[in-house]
Every structure is written in C-alpha cells, then in structure tokens.
Amino acid sequence: MSERIADALVLVFTYGVSLRHWQETGMLGREWALYKSLLPYYGRLILVTYGGADDEHILDSVVSGPDRGRVSLICNARGQTNAQYVTDLPALCHARVGPGTVIVKSNQMAGGGVAVKLVEFMRAAGRTAALIARGGYLWTRFVAHDEGPHSQAAHDSAARERFLCQAADMVVGTTPDMVEDLSWRYGLDPLHTAVIPNYVLVDEMPRGAAGRTPGLLLYAGQLVARKRVDVLVQALALITPEVREAIRFEIIGDGPERAALERLAASLKVPVVFRSRVPHHDLLARMRECELYIQASELEGHPKTVLEAMASGAAVVVADAPGLGDAVTHGVTGLRVTPDARSFAHAIEELLNDQEWRDMMGSAAAQATRSSLGLDTILPMEVAVHRRALEQARRRAAMGEGEARVA
C-alpha cells in the first residue's frame, strides 16, 4: 500500500491544451502512464484542461473501474472564452477538490500562472496547498529562439515564468542545465528545485538489428522550422543510389512545414513517406521496426522521441545541438553529427552498411535509457518532489509567506 502524499493532486494542463489534443497528437497513453502510477499516493486526482465536454469521454477511455471514481475533470464544458474560463477556475477547482491537503502541479511552464491562482485561492480559504512548477523544456529559451530575444512574446514569457517559479514550492525541470538556468535567472533556492527527466515506457523488450525492417528510417515530431526536417530529406539525396534504393524514410507528424517538405522530397526524388501523428503505442511499435531514428533539431529540452527510440534498441543519429547532443553519447549510444545534410548522409550510409555497429549502439542505448529513465525509476523521484512540495507549503504556512520565501 502506497503511503499517501496528500488528499488531492490537481494537474493543470498547458494553456489551451485539452485531453482531445493529447489524444490527437498521440500523447494520451504516454502522459497518462505517470498519473496512473501516482494515483495510489492520492485520494483524488483532478485534471484541469481547456477542452470541451468531450474530454470526459476521452478520460473514460484511459481510466475505468474503481479508479474512475477517484479521477475527475474540470473542463470548459460551457464553451466560455479562455479568459472567462480561467477567471472562474479557482472557485471551480476549490469546490471540486474537497477536504484536506492538495498539491497543484503545472504540466508545463506555459500557462502555469493559472496553477498559481488556484493555489492562492485555496490558501486564502484556509487550505494547505502546495505548488509544483514543472516544465519539460525551458519555455523562455524556446520562445526567444522562435520569436526573437527582443520580441514582446519573449518578454512576456520571461515575466510569466518568473512569476510561476518564484511562487512555487518546488520547481522541476527535465535536465540539470534547465534547472540551473531557472535557478540563476530567478534566484531560486536549490533546495526547492529538482531534476526529473522525461521517462520512457519499457513494457516491450528492445529489439536487435536483425529483427528490424531493412532500410527503414524514422523521424517523429512536429514539422516546424526548428526541427530542421528538411536537412534529413536533403541528406537522402546525397546517399549513393544503390543504398538509397533500399531506404524508406517515414516522417510521422504534422505542422506548418509539411507541405514544403513534401515538395522538397518530390523535387529531390527521394523515398519519403509522410504520416500524420499516431497513438503513442503505434509510434513505439514503429520505433522497434526502424533501423535508424534520425533527428536534426536546432534546440530541444529533453527529447522524448529520441529517448524512446533509444529505449526500443534503435540506432540513432542526431544533430550535435542543445538538448539533442546531451541525450546521446557519441559512438556509444548513438551518433552526434554536425547539422548539415552531408554529415547526416555520411552517418546514415555508414550505419546502414554496418549491422554489427548498429546493433552494438542500439543495445547500449536501450540498456542505458531503460535503466535510468524507465517509469519505475522516475516515479520515486516524482513522489519525493511531491512530498517536498507539501513540506515546504506547510513550512510556508507556519512561518508566514515572506519568511518562507527567504528560507
């Protein structure tokens, strides 16, 4: 029997995100795995989403039986504007949570200000409420990269990120660099921060090179400029014809760059197949089939798809870029290459011609990733952070808000 952390856990979704979005992007099964594992530590779990009434039906698809009575949903069933919905959320959440202690957690930094408002409302009502500010990536760095460091969007995200982190009882990031950056920027007490990496699901055994589909290359993710999928498509055109004839490159994902990428693949006459997003279990199955997983992003946080491909036993080739390079030990668990088409072409061709090398790196990647990032390994880290957050919230209440922040 798991020792209870608090009476209720409230998960606040990223601003604008719904269970429907999780389902359509293939994230639902993966994201729910953590909260299914956390449920024994709480009396109740409340999901706060921005979806409509159909989110209830989607929730029914992932949780049933006795657990369903302990999981509830707050969603925008009345079709309000997001602004009005957010205004009403604190009172709605307070009423739904019921008696006892509560932990509120943001799923990402973006929109985490809503989590702050929920906690403030409940504390004002005399409840013991703790706040965990969690981010899978450094939100402000991504906004600055995409919109420019001098943009209004960058300034706004920095102000909101600061507000969330300084209000939180615990601040959680997926990499040491991310947590160190947040701590330095916002003057956070290291005792109130933690690194919890993204987890991988290890229900299926990894697969060796001999059991994979010959010539199958895979990329999965957003089709946006930052991902540099065009570099991967261009790389295929530089591979020798006899090797290229045996290749099938599957791109699984959607985004604003898809049409341009389709035109590029057609103009270069390279073997690319585009597929829309698939459920998470289907993506993991495809990762167990591919000979190589390739990714050329300019910037990543703690790249889930690369880690999942590694956990499946696939050999991976990634750009030596922030976030990606840190996930791969070059020559041991994968290859890091300069982010240009020629470097990717060379690495792909060399690996396709060397099954033993692929097998060695895929095996090492699976062993390292599954042992350090399996959900059974990550769950105790998550539980420990929840307990620390509640302890800090109690200390804050006993000492008074101002003194607790200095402590």
For residue 237, count other CB atoms closer than 10 A to its CB.
Answer: 15
Torsion of CA 16, 22, 24, 25, to 10 degrees: 100
Round to whole Å and give the CA distance between 162 and 182: 9
Q: Do domains 6-198+375-406 and 209-373 have the same CATH topology?
A: yes
Q: What proportion of the chain, given as a percentage, has pLDDT over 90?
A: 92
Rounded to two decimals, the pTM is 0.93
- In whole angstroms, give the CA distance from residue 251 to residue 273: 6
pLDDT digits (tens, 9 = 90+) for 266-282: 999 999 999 999 999 99
> In the structure, what pLDDT confidence band is assigned to residue 216 with cuts at 50, 70 and 90?
very high
Residues facing 101 on adjacent strands: none
> Which strand (E) or helix (H) includes residue 319?
strand 315-319
Residue 140 has pLDDT above 50, yes or no: yes
| pLDDT value for 401 | 56
Closest to 329 (Cα-Cα) out of 342, 341, 320, 340: 320
Q: Which CATH superfamily is domain 6-198+375-406 in?
A: Glycogen Phosphorylase B; (3.40.50.2000)
Q: Is 382 helix (H, G, I), strand (E, B) or coil?
A: helix
The pLDDT of residue 396? 85
Token digits of residue 315 = 């050999």
For domain 209-373, the CATH superfamily is: Glycogen Phosphorylase B; (3.40.50.2000)
Distances (CA, A) of 65 to 3, 68, 69: 21, 6, 8
151-163 pLDDT per residue, tens:
999 999 999 999 9
Distance in angstroms (rounded) separating the CA atoms of residues 237 and 244: 8
Residues 6+ apart with CB under 8 A from 164: 106, 109, 112, 113, 115, 116, 133
Domain ranges of the chain: 6-198+375-406, 209-373
- Give 109-129 pLDDT, tens digit per residue: 998 999 999 999 999 999 999
Q: In what order do the strands lie in the sheet with 6-12?
A: 71-74, 42-48, 6-12, 102-106, 129-134, 170-173, 193-195
DSSP SS3 for 136:
coil
Nearest Cα to Cα of residue 218 among 247, 194, 242: 247
